[in-house]
Structure 1
Amino acid sequence: MKYLKLFLFVLLFVSLTIPAQTKEITLENIWSGTFRTEGMDALHSMKNGQKYSVLNFDRATRSTSVDIYDYETLKKVETLVSSSDISELNYFTDYAFSNNEKKLLLATEKESIYRRSSLAYYYVYDVVTGSVVKVSDKKIQEPTFAPDGSKIAYVFNNNIYVKDLNSNNETQITFDGEKNKIINGITDWVYEEEFAFVRAFDWNKSGNKIAFLRFDETNVPEFSMDIYGKALYQTQQVFKYPKAGEKNSDVSLHIYNLKDDKTTAVHVNKTYDDFYIPRIKWTNSADVLSAQYMNRHQNELDVWFINAEDNSSKLMLAEKDKAYIDVTDNLTFLEDNSFIWTSEKDGFNHIYHYSKNGDLKNQVTKGNWEVTNYYGYDKKKNTIFYQSTENGSINRDVYRIKLNGTSKERLTKANGTNSASFSADFSYFINTFSNAETPPYYTLNSATSGELIKRIKDNDNLSQKLADYTTSKKIFSTISVHGNALNMWMLKPANFDATKVYPLFMTQYSGPGSQSVANSWNSTNDYWYQMLAQQGYIVVCVDGRGTGFKGAAFKKITYLNLVKYETEDQIQAARQLGDLPYIDKDRIGIWGWSYGGHMSTNCLLKGNDVFKMAIAVAPVTSWRFYDTIYTERYMRTPQENPSGYDDNSPFNYPELLKGDYLLVHGSGDDNVHVQHTMRMIEALVQADKQFDWAIYPDRNHGIFGGNTRLHLYKKMTSFINEKLGDKI
């Protein structure tokens, strides 16, 4: 019955997307939040596995609270803490439990530093006594409970501190931290951006040792950005940014012993000339630390076990690849210190089980499909839970499988994108489902069978709201380009007439391992594409070679030649689409942001006989200007591969520009610096090529804030209508 209900819901939604609707989507709708989806924020499964907590906001009292819900009934059973009951706090925006769940860490007044890092004031709330303690009078980074909840380690001004919550005493354990020189326990800019983590310290199981990374970025070249603000004189933001081929931070691993107040440097039994340490993690043995070391080319990754008592080390696993190895957070230690690992070594990303001595016990999953998320291991049932593309590369499903690779079972039933949040004891999971026609809804399911227990939250109100608007169905297919079946979606105007011809507007990102063609609910941009479709455009997205979830060979073909094959695929796809009787081959445009902006620029230049216009937002224009970790992973260094860097850098062939080009950047972009756009502008000027451009003052890579996004999308829409829509 439950599946029939879902089918009827989808059928109703599809039936409401025919041209009988009257409202047209506007940019104001999109950027004012008209189509915002409801979600479940900051959910945490309690240790008993029967309850979960959620961070809630009460609009009436303007207070935040951590509320406890029962998995089986989905009803709130108690409010653990509310900001309205704490005089020291007006609100909090994040929370974390101690391991024993007797204390809560509450964050307030957060301010962003870079993409993942932030500063905030933190308070510890004692669940038993109701007392509140401020961790520090200053804004700090990454406070983390010791395993027994008696202490908190955190970073302030690039140094690590430990606060004893019982005595209120504070111990500083590093002293050499200095801005743009030495960082302890927090990653530098490039690690944060490309290895996707900020906290670079970890408590051991007994809470008597802390392992941490130290970054010496003294000799890393500095990058500076003017900050215009509203003052009479601009200021500058100066930070260390290692560009491809340049000096990285010198990274070292250390272990601090709380008992003797002593820090020891770790030296593994191998000499590395130039290396990264992208992950550290204590094992289930209190004196054994795991550390991943990676060479600068990122095609060799070693997992070491370090004995914290005698500083000895043992190489447990060594991976090598002809191209590169992706770093993940999937390393999981079992009770006997054997471990679970994911790897692409058989050509697809799969799960492996290794012994505590580093010997391969078995490959858990196999097949020409990818494991896309590892959820965890249930030791009682000897079962692993994961997400994969086994049901097609544009779909995601949740599975369970025994550690020995037997008894695999698909737990989710509906085709689309399923993702799971499991209870601590793996008895339940909350599934988030959506597809291109169904906005996200949340259900409680049995982790044993996948059976639906209850529906938690949906976005039926959004579906009903969208029923009043003219929309088109996203049509999924593949297109054969250069011998590859590339995933594609297409939007046609709701009043599509096959006897007419329409301009074609292409969207893509195309970066290594990415995916833009996915059977999931609308992103914000999808509403823009719907708007363009109703204005008379056919909108298409193609995932070319180099994108993800179709195996390592498909993804890594772009190695050493970023944007070469990706550009060729977009140009050829546009040619083939232009041959369709209902597409005007003389009115084809393309756009992209960041990597996608590099692509759209290259397509307009190298495909100048195909594309009439292109928009590039915050584009890379030379990989020589981008950071070491990302760029060298795919290109090696400019010194080793100069042609790979220069042959596909668009400011080296500006004379190829024939079509209409809009170039946009934020001047405060710490990621893809405005330098990229300035060099492209200079090249076009010197080649006497006319083009349009816009700089958004002090805006970062996301180019948002206030009215900025609306302004940007109005500009882009006007440009598209002017250059492609002249015959609509």
Structure 2
Amino acid sequence: MKLRSLGLALLLTTASPMLLPATAPVAFAQQKQNITLEDIWQKGTFSAKSVAGFNWMKDGRYYSSLAKGDLVQNDVTTGQPVQTIVAAADLKLPGQAQPLPVDGYSFNADETKILFSTATEPIYRRSSKSTFYVYDRSTKQLVLLSAGEGKQLYATFSPDGKRVAFVRDNNLFVTDLATMRETAVTTDGELNKIINGGTDWVYEEEFEFAQGFQWSPDSRQVAFYRFDVSAVPEYNMQEWGPLYPQDYRYKYPKAGEKNSTVGVSVYDVAAGQTVKMDVGPEADQYIPRIGWTKTPNLLSIRRMNRLQNKLEILHADARTGKTDVVLTDTDPAYVEVNDDLRYLEGGKQFLFTSEKDGYRHLYLYDMKGKLVRQLTKGNWEIASIEGFNEKKGEVYFISTEESPLQRHLYSINLKGKGKTRLSEAGGGVDVVNMSPDTKYYLNYHSEAGQPQVVSLRNGQDGKLVKVLEDNAALRQKLTGYNLGKLEFINFKTDEGVDLNASVLKPANFDPAKKYPVLMYVYGGPGSQTVKDDAGGGIAFTNYLWHQLLAEQGYIIVSVDNRGTGARGSAFKKSTYANLGKLETQDQAAAARYFATLPYVDKSRIGIWGWSFGGYMTTLALTKNPDLFKMGVAVAPVTNWRYYDTVYTERFLKTPQENPQGYDDNSPVQFADQLKSKLLLVHGTGDDNVHFQNSVAFVDAMIKANKDYQTLYYPNRNHGIYGGNTRLHLYRQMTNFVLQNL
């Protein structure tokens, strides 16, 4: 799991973001209510409505969604259902009284067949296994995809809809839907040894994908990954339960240790033959992306060296395996991988984003890697490419042009001209779901403290077609609660560094009084906690919890230190090879700045964070023992030697090359300086930031004879959730803050 994310469960909860205003007009005189932990974690008091489960259909006028077991077609202009595509009653197997409990689906290209998934089991953050069925809309037949033993992963139609590829037991299979004949593309897959068609743990977490195969556009070939994980060291977690705990072992490459050896091959369906692509002689490298171009038999492969400061785009002949390097992107620190590489129709050009001019911008290249032109330029960044209109030659992208705190949709043509803001004037953050033909897009707009508004908009000019959800009922409800106002400020540190911060004051704030301050930190590379939105998932629930603390008389502050995102490459990469040093200096400088304000009690400043924020909390407390009165560190890294290769080495190099970068800013090294009250929280089943991190820090504090409090959650992963877990956790954290700050 990516260090700045908190697990599969949190991704699921953010599908329908819940947002609320920091301030709202009072409709009539009434007694204001206070937020409770039960409101946040049990009752769903502030749940916002959204347009969830949205899947564009081939006609950009419609989308599909599951509704009470039925698969329904909806008109995007009204949000209303226009027909039932598949009724739940049609999803019954012979001899079964009840329909299949469907939990997911996908169409083939012409929408005549549907893959339904059932009994889905999550594995890690992006991976899961299911039992899949194929449904034919014309015959209404429901057929089991595979009669083989065990569930399947990543079942995917070929573009022509005639076949389905999937992974089972680390092998890749292809099923011919006309005959339901299943062909094993690979046979050497084995747990903790060989993975075909999927990715290993660290690729899934840090390169952000789990499915390791792709159909060619003409459906004739399947390109797939092969991971040899045999040499990767295993991590062992105990799963607590019955009389004897069970061991769970999986391949986890810690910084400096051996990675998987990764290869790419192409399987020709008709010939039944596999050709290995030439990814070079270096085994200790990464292949973070593969994808088909618009040219038949031409596969695009992205290759990186282990230090991740050089990225190459290779074009591979799928028939022979021969590859050519067409583009190289380098950086003194590191190059990040994203999904913004887009090949254009006609097979002559591609789009690519790079930070080579100091900010992430959009570039157009020919197929030999020759630069045609830079399409965007300025002291702002492209966050993502959202669509491309082939006929008009226009690219749609989200950028930070207005402010690092905001995100808005723009378009520009392939000549680098006609850049147009499609988002409405104003602040906030726009999240876009654009139809494949770019005629329409769904816009999820939020601003700090405001419930989201979901609207359908015209893709050509951004004009409103229809508001699909405005959360008016929630807005009215929120007028009855004591909500403080979230403000954004910018200040200069004693080193002269400009930092952005958010400040949440109590609703009844009195500038003549002195208030304690609790700082919320994440601070990891490229991240942001200071944005003009109310967030989703953990960001949203923390916002609610911070409002609860503000009701108790606390000021809540969050500061984006050096190393965070949306302010250019130099600001983000200033922490390279010395992770934790400048970030902690900035958080300490922020604490000193707020301590100078007349309404702040400088003797009562605390800090808390989760994951990288937990690391920042423990480091801030130990390096600044007289500055912070207390801290809460949840699931912290305490020694970067314990974290994975891809993430850690990207920012620190390997421990062998840069031992000081690992040790000089490890909280374990400074445990003897701790003076503050500390609550240390961790899940014993954390597959991402191992419980080992907290064990090492506790051991160091014991050796230093330091007092601390710990809270561990049996078998909970990095997100620490399930049942009453979050309610319990936040109750303990609330009590700790109230008692110690």
What band does the TM-score fall into relative to the shorter chain?
over 0.9
2:122 aligned to 96, 103, 112, which one? 112
- SS state at 2:601 partner: strand
Moved more, 638-647 or 129-138: 129-138
Residue identity in the other structure for 2:145: V
Using the TM superposition, give the Cα deviation of residue 423 of structure 1 relative to its aligned residue in structure 2, in angstroms.
2.0
| Equivalent in the alignment of 1:593 | 610
Using the TM superposition, give the Cα deviation of residue 485 of structure 1 relative to its aligned residue in structure 2, in angstroms.
1.9
In the alignment, the residues of structure 2 paired with residue 81 and residue 15 of structure 1 have an alpha-carbon distance, to the nearest angstrom, of 45
1:706 aligned to 704, 723, 735, which one? 723
Using the TM superposition, give the Cα deviation of residue 13 of structure 1 relative to its aligned residue in structure 2, in angstroms.
5.8
Q: Kindly indicate whether residue 431 of structure 2 is the aligned counterpart of residue 419 of structure 1.
A: yes
| Equivalent in the alignment of 2:34 | 24
2:187 aligned to 175, 183, 186, which one? 175
Alignment of 1:90-489 (within 5 A): 90-137=100-147, 138-229=150-241, 231-268=242-279, 270-337=280-347, 338-413=349-424, 414-481=426-493, 482-489=495-502
Residue identity in the other structure for 1:502: Y
- SS state at 1:143 partner: strand
Moved more, 173-182 or 330-339: 330-339
Residue identity in the other structure for 1:185: G
- SS state at 2:507 partner: coil
Could you list the runs of 5+ residues in structure 2 that have no partner in the other structure?
Answer: 1-19, 94-98
Residues 19 and 495 of structure 1 are in contact (CA less than 8 Å); yes or no, is this contact kept in structure 2?
no
Using the TM superposition, give the Cα deviation of residue 397 of structure 1 relative to its aligned residue in structure 2, in angstroms.
0.7
In the alignment, the residues of structure 2 paired with residue 373 and residue 37 of structure 1 have an alpha-carbon distance, to the nearest angstrom, of 26
In the alignment, the residues of structure 2 paired with residue 428 and residue 623 of structure 1 have an alpha-carbon distance, to the nearest angstrom, of 45
Deviations 1:575-632 (A, max 9, x none): 1101111100000000000000000011111111210101100000000000000000
Residue identity in the other structure for 1:660: K
Using the TM superposition, give the Cα deviation of residue 12 of structure 1 relative to its aligned residue in structure 2, in angstroms.
12
Using the TM superposition, give the Cα deviation of residue 232 of structure 1 relative to its aligned residue in structure 2, in angstroms.
1.2
Residue identity in the other structure for 2:326: M
| Equivalent in the alignment of 1:534 | 551
Residues 608 and 659 of structure 1 are in contact (CA less than 8 Å); yes or no, is this contact kept in structure 2?
yes
| Equivalent in the alignment of 1:722 | 739
In the alignment, the residues of structure 1 paired with residue 320 and residue 283 of structure 2 have an alpha-carbon distance, to the nearest angstrom, of 24
Moved more, 273-282 or 620-629: 273-282
Using the TM superposition, give the Cα deviation of residue 635 of structure 1 relative to its aligned residue in structure 2, in angstroms.
0.4
CA pair 11-707 structure 1, distance change in 2 beyond 3 A: closer
Using the TM superposition, give the Cα deviation of residue 40 of structure 1 relative to its aligned residue in structure 2, in angstroms.
2.0
| Equivalent in the alignment of 2:8 | none
In the alignment, the residues of structure 2 paired with residue 266 and residue 427 of structure 1 have an alpha-carbon distance, to the nearest angstrom, of 38
- SS state at 2:83 partner: strand
Could you list the runs of 5+ residues in structure 1 that have no partner in the other structure?
Answer: 1-9, 59-63
- SS state at 1:632 partner: helix
In the alignment, the residues of structure 2 paired with residue 440 and residue 281 of structure 1 have an alpha-carbon distance, to the nearest angstrom, of 34
Deviations 1:158-214 (A, max 9, x none): 000111111010001101100000000100000000000001111112212111111
In the alignment, the residues of structure 2 paired with residue 136 and residue 84 of structure 1 have an alpha-carbon distance, to the nearest angstrom, of 22
Using the TM superposition, give the Cα deviation of residue 75 of structure 1 relative to its aligned residue in structure 2, in angstroms.
2.9
Using the TM superposition, give the Cα deviation of residue 18 of structure 1 relative to its aligned residue in structure 2, in angstroms.
11
In the alignment, the residues of structure 2 paired with residue 19 and residue 233 of structure 1 have an alpha-carbon distance, to the nearest angstrom, of 60
| Equivalent in the alignment of 1:4 | none
Q: Kindly indicate whether residue 55 of structure 2 is the aligned counterpart of residue 44 of structure 1.
A: yes
Using the TM superposition, give the Cα deviation of residue 11 of structure 1 relative to its aligned residue in structure 2, in angstroms.
10
In the alignment, the residues of structure 2 paired with residue 12 and residue 572 of structure 1 have an alpha-carbon distance, to the nearest angstrom, of 27
CA pair 125-562 structure 1, distance change in 2 beyond 3 A: same
- SS state at 2:636 partner: coil
Residue identity in the other structure for 2:524: G
Residues 20 and 470 of structure 1 are in contact (CA less than 8 Å); yes or no, is this contact kept in structure 2?
no
Alignment of 1:573-612 (within 5 A): 573-612=590-629
In the alignment, the residues of structure 2 paired with residue 339 and residue 119 of structure 1 have an alpha-carbon distance, to the nearest angstrom, of 34
Q: Kindly indicate whether residue 82 of structure 2 is the aligned counterpart of residue 65 of structure 1.
A: no
In the alignment, the residues of structure 2 paired with residue 221 and residue 283 of structure 1 have an alpha-carbon distance, to the nearest angstrom, of 36
Residues 216 and 292 of structure 2 are in contact (CA less than 8 Å); yes or no, is this contact kept in structure 1?
yes
Q: Kindly indicate whether residue 695 of structure 2 is the aligned counterpart of residue 678 of structure 1.
A: yes
Using the TM superposition, give the Cα deviation of residue 106 of structure 1 relative to its aligned residue in structure 2, in angstroms.
1.3
In the alignment, the residues of structure 2 paired with residue 18 and residue 491 of structure 1 have an alpha-carbon distance, to the nearest angstrom, of 24
Residue identity in the other structure for 1:521: A
In the alignment, the residues of structure 1 paired with residue 21 and residue 111 of structure 2 have an alpha-carbon distance, to the nearest angstrom, of 44
Residue identity in the other structure for 1:669: D
How many residues align? The count is: 707
Q: Kindly indicate whether residue 520 of structure 2 is the aligned counterpart of residue 507 of structure 1.
A: yes
Using the TM superposition, give the Cα deviation of residue 19 of structure 1 relative to its aligned residue in structure 2, in angstroms.
10
Using the TM superposition, give the Cα deviation of residue 130 of structure 1 relative to its aligned residue in structure 2, in angstroms.
2.0
In the alignment, the residues of structure 1 paired with residue 316 and residue 29 of structure 2 have an alpha-carbon distance, to the nearest angstrom, of 65
State the superposition RMSD in angstroms.
1.6
Q: TM-score, normalised by structure 1?
A: 0.95
- SS state at 1:15 partner: coil
Residues 621 and 649 of structure 1 are in contact (CA less than 8 Å); yes or no, is this contact kept in structure 2?
yes
Moved more, 330-339 or 707-716: 330-339
Deviations 1:36-90 (A, max 9, x none): 222222322222222222233x3xxxxx232212233433211112333311343
Moved more, 703-712 or 331-340: 331-340
In the alignment, the residues of structure 2 paired with residue 682 and residue 415 of structure 1 have an alpha-carbon distance, to the nearest angstrom, of 47
In the alignment, the residues of structure 2 paired with residue 82 and residue 580 of structure 1 have an alpha-carbon distance, to the nearest angstrom, of 62
Q: TM-score, normalised by structure 2?
A: 0.93
Deviations 1:439-467 (A, max 9, x none): 11111111121111111112222222222
1:543 aligned to 560, 563, 571, which one? 560
Residues 21 and 467 of structure 1 are in contact (CA less than 8 Å); yes or no, is this contact kept in structure 2?
no
| Equivalent in the alignment of 2:14 | none
CA pair 419-11 structure 1, distance change in 2 beyond 3 A: closer
In the alignment, the residues of structure 1 paired with residue 178 and residue 31 of structure 2 have an alpha-carbon distance, to the nearest angstrom, of 64
In the alignment, the residues of structure 2 paired with residue 65 and residue 327 of structure 1 have an alpha-carbon distance, to the nearest angstrom, of 38
Residues 22 and 448 of structure 2 are in contact (CA less than 8 Å); yes or no, is this contact kept in structure 1?
no
- SS state at 1:178 partner: coil
Identity of aligned residues (%): 46
| Equivalent in the alignment of 2:662 | 645
Residues 21 and 449 of structure 2 are in contact (CA less than 8 Å); yes or no, is this contact kept in structure 1?
no
- SS state at 1:512 partner: coil
In the alignment, the residues of structure 2 paired with residue 13 and residue 597 of structure 1 have an alpha-carbon distance, to the nearest angstrom, of 30
Residues 507 and 540 of structure 1 are in contact (CA less than 8 Å); yes or no, is this contact kept in structure 2?
yes
In the alignment, the residues of structure 2 paired with residue 651 and residue 277 of structure 1 have an alpha-carbon distance, to the nearest angstrom, of 34
| Equivalent in the alignment of 2:7 | none
Residue identity in the other structure for 2:511: A
Residues 17 and 470 of structure 1 are in contact (CA less than 8 Å); yes or no, is this contact kept in structure 2?
no
